[in-house]
């Protein structure tokens, strides 16, 4: 079994360009206020369906606020059978500073 890898926003963007999937584990309100374009919000309710429908061999980038909680979530996803998992160093905060043009907001709050 492999371990997850920590990557920078620039490396994550390159993976996204190659079809990598981004999942955001922050709370729903924070996600609605701003998230990486195209990312999926994951919480305890949506996690089982996400895992059931996912391609376990597809690159998966996990983000949180600052890059700490995403490491635990990435390790968990490895244990659930994902083989190519990354934790975004600096989390959404660093992503937002690096790629503000790749941030979306949900209008319905």
Strands 60-63, 21-24: pairing kind:
parallel
Q: Find the Cα–Cα–Cα–Cα dihedral 64, 72, 11, 13, rounded to 10°.
A: -40
Asked about 25 being catalytic, the answer comes back as no
Given 22, 61, 64, 85, the catalytic residue: 64
CA distance 36 to 25: 12
Which residues are annotated as catalytic?
64
């Amino acid at each position: 079994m492999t371990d997850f890898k920590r990557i920078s926003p620039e490396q994550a963007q390159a993976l996204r360009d190659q079809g990598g999937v981004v999942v955001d584990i922050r709370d729903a309100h924070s996600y609605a206020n701003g998230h990486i374009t195209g990312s999926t919000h994951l919480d305890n309710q949506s996690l089982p369906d996400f895992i059931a429908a996912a391609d376990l061999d597809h690159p998966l980038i996990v983000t949180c606020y600052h890059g700490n909680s995403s490491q635990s979530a990435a390790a968990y996803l490895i244990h659930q059978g994902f083989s190519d998992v990354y934790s975004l160093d600096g989390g959404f905060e660093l992503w937002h500073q690096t790629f503000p043009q790749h941030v979306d907001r949900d209008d319905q709050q």
